[in-house]
Amino acid sequence: MNEAHEVCGGDEWRQIMREQILPWVLNNTDLGDDVLEVGPGFGAATDVLSTSVPQVTCVEIDDRLAAMLTERFADVPSVRIVRGDATALNFPDGHFTGAACFTMLHHVPTAELQNTLFGEVARVLRPGAALVASDGIGDDDMAAAHVGDIYNPIDPAGLAERLTAAGFSDVDVRTNDFGWAAIARR
């Protein structure tokens, strides 16, 4: 991530995630007691998940962010940080009771890799488990904030088809001023 993403580690972003984005995205969805969070970044959503579910396993591809999260959540027994690539998860089939990814999918460089990520998440979820996901809708301002960084936004109009192809069902995609949100079942 480029330096513009430092805002994602700040208190204002954490408050927006906690009070606005996560309640809208989660929409009272039960993620169970063993949740996978893909791409936690600076951990704003992890803060909320760690107090609302018994176990959160965060998979972060960025070495620097994974190290920071490991240190930051070292004394939080409900959080486990794994340095890894969500397109090749090192977990058994049907392991997790729920999964979440918030405002990170635009950092996955290609649609093919995004689809691979969706398929891997579906693989490691138990039957009936929910994936909750959100991200911004692509625009010029967001593209400008990603100069020198990966920016590959997902068009919400085709997201339901992509999630269904990855192994999900009961896909619900919504949009608002924050971007798009999806809830899908394995």
Short-list 162, 154, 86, CA closest to 124: 86
Supply the pLDDT for residue 11: 77
Query: Average pLDDT by consecutive 10-residue portion of the chain (186 residues)?
Result: 52 83 92 98 93 96 96 97 98 98 93 98 98 85 64 92 98 93 97
Residue spans of alpha helices (H) in 57-171: 63-72, 111-124, 140-144, 159-165
**105 with 166: CB under 8 angstroms?**
no
Supply the pLDDT for residue 152: 83
pLDDT tens-digit series, residues 15-37? 888 898 899 999 899 999 999 99
Supply the pLDDT for residue 146: 55
Supply the pLDDT for residue 138: 66
pTM of the model: 0.90
What are the chain's domains?
A: 3-185 (3.40.50.150)
